[in-house]
């Protein structure tokens, strides 16, 4: 017994080892077979990561799987993925592995996981799925091929896309799970299938189905000899609506022959709610309904290149009602009578007739009807709307998830008849629209607005070419609006995605810009990077709608923007091509006038702007206190009180809340101060200058009629040289400053000699020359640091040199005037002196001048505290200058 068990165990072990090891023997053979099949049958780029063979997974059958399959098209769809799959597996008898290379291999089961199938027909009619190679003869067709004797198959978590570019039609089946069992080798048999998926369908930009769930359990009779497939027992769910259908589909040489009837097995009105996607209809189990609802249809005829089946589908309900258990009101007197028909088999003759669609909420009755013909061609539409609707009742009868409170009374009586080609070509004579829509006591509350928008009255009338806005009166926060105007191409916008055109006149007593901005702070998230926390803004930039093409002539008595009040604002706003343009906009601001022209654009991810501003008689203190941009362009103007004129050209980027991004600004400006007084205590840089320059009082600075010109770019403002008068001192200022508050300026003070003290003035008096009275000395103040912490340095080198040269030049000219001979003698005496003496005299003279200048320039004094040295230096300067003044050399004093 033990020996038998031992033999049995060894045999089982050997069998298991063979089952595990054998696939490695056949692996390369299977891979070669797959590659051969692909190369002989497909015109496409095919890739896969591996082919695996197992005798364990489907024992006693062999299990072959192809992993990471990808089939990519050649021209004219080069690079497009036709098929991709995570895995496709086949099962077959083990004996199939021992067949010759040219013998077909019989496959029993197919399993596919995560398949993506993209079918496409381009505008020229070419298809991306026609990739099979043509065979020269029948024998070649069977060579190296697979044969199928399917007993079961399964497709898991897959997606099917079908796109027809010419008709702008797309069909998508996603999250597809499908399985079937049957015998396909018999001439007549049955296939038992189960399917569930989500379906989407779009045509000409209209989304008819959007991820609508469907389920189908069907028993299908297979007549393979006649290619006929008959629905026997079946049950389908479209959303939550049950549908049963009978009939067959038969394949023909030139298409398919279809004969199918269907209807919902129940007639409760609850079935109507079941059609609506559950996302919108919510849970309908406990909804109270009355009345009936019935869908019945016949689809019969051939599908060929020229024909479609004839259609007779009806959707009807009479005197129905529904009420959700948690909502206070009921929708009643519901009447639905809709037909979808085609009696000729021609696609263009299909039409939809909504004969009646009526309902009642409280005492408000709403009626509508419409017909849509020639759906596949130049579609014809005729519609009527007549009714009253209290908007507040919508949320009281239906579980709609409004993010805002809604109220108001809508009254509509409109008839319209048009064809789509007339809309596309603006053939208004073929568009027949008439009637009116009125809205009263409308209230709209949203998180996008600080305050609810209340429309007390709005009325429009419809004409063939335009829609007239007769009345629009609204209020939100502090803002009141009153508008009239015309709208063009409304139907083109609604049905063909065309541009919406309009011209409006807008008036307002008070227009507060902040009333139209969100009150919430930007959302922030925190992320850690090397231990630091960084706040990340999630705000999204405002976009100017691309579909708008309108002109708004606006006038407002008061416009409130941030902390500014604009009075008597008026101008034109042109919105077109994602751009808002201001034309001839004028307003009173800061006790003066402002004129603006320019544009704001949101075409790019970062909004941009370009503006020209004309400023006339602005109050300087108010404007530089109220506008951050002015504070950065001319920060020192905050010390000035008075009036200013400015022309300002600037462009740059905007932030998400439509304020200028200062670091991106570039442009230029020309400013003129009309009348002013200066308060230096408001600027630390003037305090520093006052302490360094004893001869100037900035309170007495005269800025009247001052003109300055500057440019700015990359966060830096460059000021061209300009001149300021302080009594008889001319001051030249030039330099630059940054939006980061840094300063880099030079101020050159051309100081008359009389400010230099008695020593220099007495010397000038002795010269006794009229030109000597006009001597000025340049003193340069170098200003750096920042607005709040400035630095001031004075440069006396040029001043000392300039004074010395001026004195020598004046005396030289005076001597020339006294006679040529005398001048020559005097100059000879001067030249005859040794060079050391001359250099010593010049150096001493420079030091004296520097001493005097140091006395009037605080913080840069060069005089010594030794009174003896000072006196001796002054005497030496007098000797040198005295020689020039008397016309002869004076006896040298001994320097102690």
| pLDDT, tens only, 786-840 | 888 889 888 766 666 777 777 677 767 766 666 555 545 555 555 555 444 445 5
Supply the pLDDT for residue 756: 66
> Residues with Cβ < 8 Å from 377, sequence gap 6 or more?
348
Q: What is the mean pLDDT of the chain?
A: 77
Contact between 44 and 127 under an 8 Å Cβ cutoff? The reply is no
Residue 869 has pLDDT above 60, yes or no: no
Residue 512 lies in a domain: no
Give the confidence band of 863 by pLDDT, cuts at 50, 70, 90: very low
Q: Count of domains in the chain?
A: 4
The neighbouring-strand residues paired with 410 are 389, 439
A 10 A CB-CB count for 543 gives 10
Q: Tell me the DSSP string of 369-425.
A: EEEEE-TTSS-EEEEEEEEEEEGGGHHHHS----SS-EEEEEEEEEEEEEEHHHHHT
Residue 755 lies in a domain: no
Q: What percent of the chain has pLDDT over 70?
A: 73
Asked if residue 385 and residue 299 are part of one domain, the reply reads yes
Supply the pLDDT for residue 9: 44
Q: Helix/strand/coil (H, E, C) string of 40-73?
A: HHECCEEECCEEEEECCCCCCCEEEEEEEEEEEC
Q: Locate tokens 């038969």: which residue?
A: 250
Pairwise CA distance, residues 8 & 609, whole Å: 89
| Among 638, 659, 661, CA closest to 787 | 638
| Among 126, 26, 116, CA closest to 76 | 126
User: How is residue 484 written in tokens?
Assistant: 């009239």
Instruction: Report residue 137: phi and psi, to 5°.
Output: -150, 170
For the purposes of burial, counting CB atoms within 10 Å of the CB of 313, is it exposed (0-12), middle (13-18) or buried (19 or more)? middle
- The number of angstroms, rounded, from the C-alpha of 367 to the middle of its chain's C-alpha atoms is 40
Supply the pLDDT for residue 280: 67
Of 117-131, 385-399, 487-501, 831-845, which has the strongest mean pLDDT?
385-399
Contact between 240 and 284 under an 8 Å Cβ cutoff? The reply is yes
Residue 27, SS3 per DSSP: helix
Give the confidence band of 862 by pLDDT, cuts at 50, 70, 90: very low
Helix or strand (DSSP H, E) at 435: strand 432-444
A 10 A CB-CB count for 267 gives 15
Residue 23 has pLDDT above 50, yes or no: no
Contact between 404 and 439 under an 8 Å Cβ cutoff? The reply is no
Contact between 219 and 225 under an 8 Å Cβ cutoff? The reply is no
Q: What is the pLDDT of residues 761-777, one digit of tens each?
A: 676 666 666 666 677 77
Q: Locate tokens 């009447």: which residue?
A: 335
Asked if residue 647 and residue 795 are part of one domain, the reply reads no
Asked if residue 783 and residue 699 are part of one domain, the reply reads no
Q: What is the pLDDT of residues 839-848, one digit of tens each?
A: 554 555 556 5
Lowest mean pLDDT among 101-110, 138-147, 362-371: 138-147
Compute CA distances 417 → 206, 414, 497, whole Å.
Answer: 19, 10, 18
Pairwise CA distance, residues 421 & 429, whole Å: 12
Supply the pLDDT for residue 73: 82
For the purposes of burial, counting CB atoms within 10 Å of the CB of 878, is it exposed (0-12), middle (13-18) or buried (19 or more)? buried
Strands 592-601 and 640-653: unpaired
Contact between 291 and 321 under an 8 Å Cβ cutoff? The reply is yes
**Rounded mean pLDDT, 176-198:** 81
Residue 591 lies in a domain: no
Residue 671 lies in a domain: yes
Compute CA distances 399 → 280, 284, 364, whole Å.
Answer: 7, 10, 19
Pairwise CA distance, residues 594 & 355, whole Å: 59
Asked if residue 382 and residue 271 are part of one domain, the reply reads yes
CA torsion angle 486 492 493 495 (round to 10): 140
Strands 743-752 and 729-738: antiparallel
User: How is residue 408 written in tokens?
Assistant: 């108001």
Contact between 436 and 461 under an 8 Å Cβ cutoff? The reply is yes
Residue 14 has pLDDT above 70, yes or no: no
Give the confidence band of 646 by pLDDT, cuts at 50, 70, 90: very high
- Angle between the N-to-C axes of helices 820-832 and 797-817, in degrees from 0 to 180, rounded to the nearest 10: 140
Q: Which residue has the higher pLDDT, 28 or 212?
A: 212
A 10 A CB-CB count for 275 gives 16
Supply the pLDDT for residue 867: 43
Of 7-21, 132-146, 476-490, which has the strongest mean pLDDT?
476-490
Asked if residue 814 and residue 700 are part of one domain, the reply reads no
Q: What is the pLDDT of residues 264-320, one digit of tens each?
A: 888 888 888 877 766 666 777 788 999 999 999 999 999 888 888 999 999 999 999
Asked if residue 266 and residue 154 are part of one domain, the reply reads no
Asked if residue 276 and residue 154 are part of one domain, the reply reads no
Asked if residue 254 and residue 123 are part of one domain, the reply reads no
Residue 479 lies in a domain: no
Supply the pLDDT for residue 557: 95
| Extended beta strands in 577-715, E state | 579-589, 592-601, 608-619, 640-653, 666-678, 706-713
| Among 105, 97, 197, 189, CA closest to 143 | 105
Supply the pLDDT for residue 471: 95
> Residues with Cβ < 8 Å from 717, sequence gap 6 or more?
632, 633, 634, 710, 711, 736, 737, 738, 739
Asked if residue 252 and residue 394 are part of one domain, the reply reads yes
**Rounded mean pLDDT, 14-33:** 49
Supply the pLDDT for residue 825: 58
**Rounded mean pLDDT, 115-134:** 79
Supply the pLDDT for residue 861: 40
Residue 537 lies in a domain: no
Q: Which residue has the higher pLDDT, 389 or 884?
A: 389
Contact between 710 and 718 under an 8 Å Cβ cutoff? The reply is yes
Asked if residue 245 and residue 386 are part of one domain, the reply reads yes
Contact between 202 and 170 under an 8 Å Cβ cutoff? The reply is yes
User: How is residue 768 written in tokens?
Assistant: 């006794």
**Rounded mean pLDDT, 585-598:** 92
> Residues with Cβ < 8 Å from 725, sequence gap 6 or more?
702, 731
Contact between 546 and 500 under an 8 Å Cβ cutoff? The reply is no
3-state helix, strand, coil in the chain (%, to 5): 25, 50, 25
> Residues with Cβ < 8 Å from 650, sequence gap 6 or more?
610, 611, 613, 629, 660, 665, 666, 667, 669, 712
| Among 357, 354, 464, 375, CA closest to 416 | 464
Asked if residue 157 and residue 295 are part of one domain, the reply reads no
> Residues with Cβ < 8 Å from 437, sequence gap 6 or more?
410, 411, 412, 413, 414, 459, 460, 462
Asked if residue 73 and residue 7 are part of one domain, the reply reads yes
The residue out of 688, 721, 754 marking a domain boundary is 721
Residue 500 lies in a domain: no
Strands 105-121 and 146-164: parallel
Residue 64 has pLDDT above 70, yes or no: yes
Residue 96 lies in a domain: yes
For the purposes of burial, counting CB atoms within 10 Å of the CB of 334, is it exposed (0-12), middle (13-18) or buried (19 or more)? buried
Q: Locate tokens 């005037």: which residue?
A: 817
* Parent domain of 665: 603-721
Residue 804, SS3 per DSSP: helix
Q: 120-142 burial, b for 16+ CB within 10 Å, e for fewer?
A: bbeeeeeebbebeeeeeeeeeee
Supply the pLDDT for residue 594: 92
Lowest mean pLDDT among 70-79, 151-160, 430-439, 795-804: 795-804
Pairwise CA distance, residues 99 & 33, whole Å: 11
The neighbouring-strand residues paired with 194 are 179, 217
Helix or strand (DSSP H, E) at 229: strand 228-238
Supply the pLDDT for residue 815: 67
Instruction: Report residue 701: phi and psi, to 5°.
Output: -65, 135
Q: Which residue has the higher pLDDT, 9 or 572?
A: 572
């Amino acid at each position: 017994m033990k020996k038998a068990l031992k033999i049995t165990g060894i045999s089982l072990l050997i069998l298991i080892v063979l089952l595990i090891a054998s696939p490695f023997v056949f692996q390369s053979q299977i891979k070669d077979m797959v590659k051969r099949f692909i190369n002989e049958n497909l015109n496409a780029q095919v890739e896969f990561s591996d082919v695996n063979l197992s005798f364990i997974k489907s024992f006693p059958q062999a299990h072959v799987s192809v992993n990471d399959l990808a089939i990519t098209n050649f021209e004219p769809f080069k690079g497009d993925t036709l098929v991709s799959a995570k895995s496709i597996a086949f099962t077959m008898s083990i004996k199939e592995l021992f067949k010759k290379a040219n013998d077909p291999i019989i496959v029993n089961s197919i399993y596919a996981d995560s398949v993506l199938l993209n079918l496409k027909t381009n505008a020229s009619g070419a298809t991306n799925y026609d990739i099979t190679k043509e065979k020269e003869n029948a024998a070649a067709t069977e060579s190296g091929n697979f044969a199928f004797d399917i007993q079961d198959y399964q497709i898991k978590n897959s997606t099917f896309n079908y796109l027809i570019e010419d008709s702008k039609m797309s069909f998508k089946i996603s999250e597809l799970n499908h399985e079937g069992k049957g015998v396909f080798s018999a001439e007549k048999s049955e296939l038992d299938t189960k399917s569930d998926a989500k379906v989407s369908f779009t045509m000409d930009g209209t989304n008819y189905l959007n991820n609508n769930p469907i389920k189908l359990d069907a028993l299908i009779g297979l007549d393979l000899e006649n290619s006929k497939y008959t629905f026997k027992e079946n049950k389908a769910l479209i959303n939550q609506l049950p549908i049963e259908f009978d009939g067959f589909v038969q394949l023909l040489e030139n298409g398919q022959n279809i004969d199918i009837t269907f209807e919902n097995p129940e007639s409760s009105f609850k079935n109507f709610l079941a059609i609506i996607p559950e996302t919108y209809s919510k849970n309908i189990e406990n909804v109270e309904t009355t009345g009936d609802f019935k869908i019945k249809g016949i689809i019969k005829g051939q599908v060929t290149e020229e024909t479609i089946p004839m259609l007779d589908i009806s959707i009807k309900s009479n005197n129905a009602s529904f009420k959700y258990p948690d909502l206070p009101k009921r929708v009643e007197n519901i009447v639905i009578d809709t037909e979808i028909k085609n009696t000729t088999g021609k696609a263009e003759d299909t039409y939809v007739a909504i004969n009646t669609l009526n309902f009642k909420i409280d005492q408000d009755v709403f009626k509508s009807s419409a017909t849509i013909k020639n759906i596949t061609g130049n579609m014809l539409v005729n519609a009527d709307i007549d009714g009253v609707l209290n908007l507040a009742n919508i949320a009281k009868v239906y579980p709609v998830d409004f993010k805002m409170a809604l109220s108001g009374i809508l009254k509509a009586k409109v008839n319209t008849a048009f064809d789509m080609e007339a809309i596309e070509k603006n053939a208004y004579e073929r568009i027949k629209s008439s009637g009116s829509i009125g809205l009263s006591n409308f209230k709209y509350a949203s998180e996008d607005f600080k305050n609810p928008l209340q429309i007390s009255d709005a009325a429009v009338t419809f004409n063939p070419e335009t829609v007239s806005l007769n009345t629009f009166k609204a209020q939100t926060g502090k803002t009141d609006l009153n508008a009239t105007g015309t709208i063009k191409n409304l139907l083109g916008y609604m049905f063909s995605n065309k541009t919406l055109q309009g011209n409006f006149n807008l008036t307002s007593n008070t227009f507060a810009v902040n009333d139209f901005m969100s009150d919430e702070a930007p959302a922030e998230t925190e992320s850690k990077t090397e231990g630091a926390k960084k706040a990340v803004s999630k705000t999204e930039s405002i976009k100017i709608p691309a579909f708008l093409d309108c002109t708004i002539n606006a006038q407002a008595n008061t416009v409130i923007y941030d902390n500014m009040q604009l009075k008597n604002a008026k101008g034109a706003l042109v919105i077109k091509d994602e751009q808002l343009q201001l034309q001839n906009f004028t307003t009173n601001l800061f006790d003066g006038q402002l004129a603006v022209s320019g544009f704001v654009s949101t075409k790019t991810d970062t909004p941009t702007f370009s503006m020209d501003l004309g400023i006339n008689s602005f109050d300087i203190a108010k404007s530089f206190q109220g506008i951050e941009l002015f504070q950065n362009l001319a920060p020192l103007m905050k010390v000035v009180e008075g009036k200013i004129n400015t022309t300002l050209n600037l462009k740059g980027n905007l932030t998400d809340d439509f304020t200028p991004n200062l670091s991106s600004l570039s442009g230029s400006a020309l400013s003129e101060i009309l009348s002013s007084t200066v308060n230096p205590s408001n600027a630390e840089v003037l305090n520093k200058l006052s302490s360094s320059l004893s001869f100037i009082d900035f309170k007495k600075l005269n800025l009247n009629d001052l003109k300055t010109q500057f440019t700015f770019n990359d966060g830096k403002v460059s000021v061209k040289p300009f001149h300021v008068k302080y009594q008889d001192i001319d001051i030249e200022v030039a330099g630059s400053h940054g939006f980061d508050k840094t300063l880099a300026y030079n101020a050159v003070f051309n100081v008359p000699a009389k400010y230099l003290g008695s020593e220099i003035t007495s010397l000038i008096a002795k010269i006794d020359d009229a030109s000597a009275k006009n001597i000025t000395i340049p003193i340069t103040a170098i200003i750096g640091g920042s607005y709040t912490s400035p630095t001031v340095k004075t440069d006396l080198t040029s001043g000392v040199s300039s004074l010395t040269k001026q004195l020598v030049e004046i005396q030289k000219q005076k001597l020339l005037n006294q006679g040529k001979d005398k001048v020559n003698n005097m100059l000879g005496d001067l030249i005859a002196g040794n060079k050391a003496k001359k250099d010593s005299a010049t150096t001493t003279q420079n030091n004296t001048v520097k001493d005097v200048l140091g006395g009037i320039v605080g913080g840069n004094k060069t005089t010594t505290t030794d009174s003896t040295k000072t006196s001796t230096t002054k005497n030496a300067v007098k000797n040198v200058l005295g020689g020039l003044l008397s016309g002869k050399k004076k006896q040298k004093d001994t320097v102690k």
